[in-house]
Amino acid sequence: MSGPVGADEAGRSEPAPKRSKAASIWRRTRTGAALVGVLALSFWATAAIGSSWPVFAIGGLLAAATLFEVGRMGRLRGRGWTAPLAVGLVAAAAVWIVRDSLLGAERVQDSVLSVAAAVYVAAGLAAFAVGLATRAERPHLAAALALWIVPPLPLLAEVYGSFERAGHPALAGLGALILLSKIGDIAGYYAGNALGRHHPFKKLSPGKTTEGCLASFLVGAAAGPACTALGLFPPGLDTLSAILIGATVNLAAQSGDLLESWVKRRVQVKDSSTWLGASGGMLDVCDSLLVTVPVALVTWPLLIPA
């Protein structure tokens, strides 16, 4: 009598066949499309309310989910950083809420950089202080994680608000930042799989290729003028400035991806979690925004006409 399918003559189970690269790409594409749908729904809610509050709330929830992942990620688990990271998020949120709701823009300096700096300082100091109080292991590292993860996603609301106060379509500016943060990643992923031969970061990110990085940069830079043509940037934005915006955001996005790869390698995990299937976890999806948001807050006021 023959043995079960998938077993050899000695009765030992054969390893399951590996899924093809095409199947893996298709799974990631489906996950990405689903995330775009969720993003579009959040944009619709923001437009319906006519306020930056939905952006702030969604960014805060994404940051909280990412912090939850990080606290349980590989060698980071059990370091006592959950409370410091959570308090860092609450402190950053409190600063933004006080500025936006209680004081009002007319009573404080209406500056994107001043608000962003206050949010970063609040997140870092609160995480460090609570880390000391709770005797968390290496509280200064908890503060560093808080500075990296906590402020950028809620501060998407400040990107929205800065466009709104300048009289530009606020949702368009927010969409441009997210598009520029991700389109290079998508181009690099597909180009790297199709054409990639050289691996410049073998120890840090073995899957990343020179061809993919170059494709990501070229597409990201070209996406700047495309955003202007689509009406996502003000019509007065010149082509050179649009290219600089696209290139700067792309370099920041690639840096964010490499930074996340470095952290994951240090804590010995491949993906931050399995929440999103083939795309990994929240940190894997949001890694580029953790760098592109602060870069945009610094550079866009210099490049986009008021």
Q: What is the pLDDT of residues 249-294, one digit of tens each?
A: 999 999 999 999 999 888 888 877 777 776 678 888 889 999 999 9
Q: Say how many C-beta atoms besides its own lie within 10 A of residue 80's C-beta.
A: 16
- The pLDDT assigned to 253 comes to 95
The residue written with tokens 């509050």 in the block is 53
Give the CA count within 13 Å in the CB-facing half-sphere of 175. 21
Give which of 253, 239, 237 is closest to 304, Cα–Cα. 237
**What does the DSSP 8-state code read for residue 14?**
P
- Average pLDDT of the residues in 30-53: 72
- The pLDDT assigned to 28 comes to 64
Q: Has residue 183 got a pLDDT over 90?
A: yes
Q: What is the pLDDT of residues 151-164, one digit of tens each?
A: 999 999 889 888 88
- Average pLDDT of the residues in 97-113: 66
- The pLDDT assigned to 98 comes to 86
Q: What is the pLDDT of residues 116-138, one digit of tens each?
A: 999 999 999 999 999 999 988 88
- Average pLDDT of the residues in 44-50: 76
- The pLDDT assigned to 1 comes to 42
Q: Has residue 5 got a pLDDT over 90?
A: no
Q: Say how many C-beta atoms besides its own lie within 10 A of residue 7's C-beta.
A: 12
- 298 vs 103, higher pLDDT: 298
- The pLDDT assigned to 36 comes to 66
How much of the chain, in percent, has pLDDT values that exceed 90?
A: 43
Quick one: which H or E segment has residue 272? none
- Average pLDDT of the residues in 90-101: 87
- The pLDDT assigned to 224 comes to 97
Q: What is the DSSP string of 101-167?
A: III-GGGS---HHHHHHHHHHHHHHHHHHHHHHTT-SSHHHHHHHHHHHTTTTTTHHHHHHHHHHTT
Q: Has residue 16 got a pLDDT over 70?
A: no
Q: What is the pLDDT of residues 210-244, one digit of tens each?
A: 999 999 999 999 999 999 999 999 988 999 999 99
Average pLDDT, the chain: 84
- The pLDDT assigned to 252 comes to 97
CB 306 within 8 A of CB 164: no
Helices (H) and strands (E) in the chain, counts: 11, 0
- 255 vs 50, higher pLDDT: 255
SS3 13: strand
Q: Has residue 14 got a pLDDT over 90?
A: no
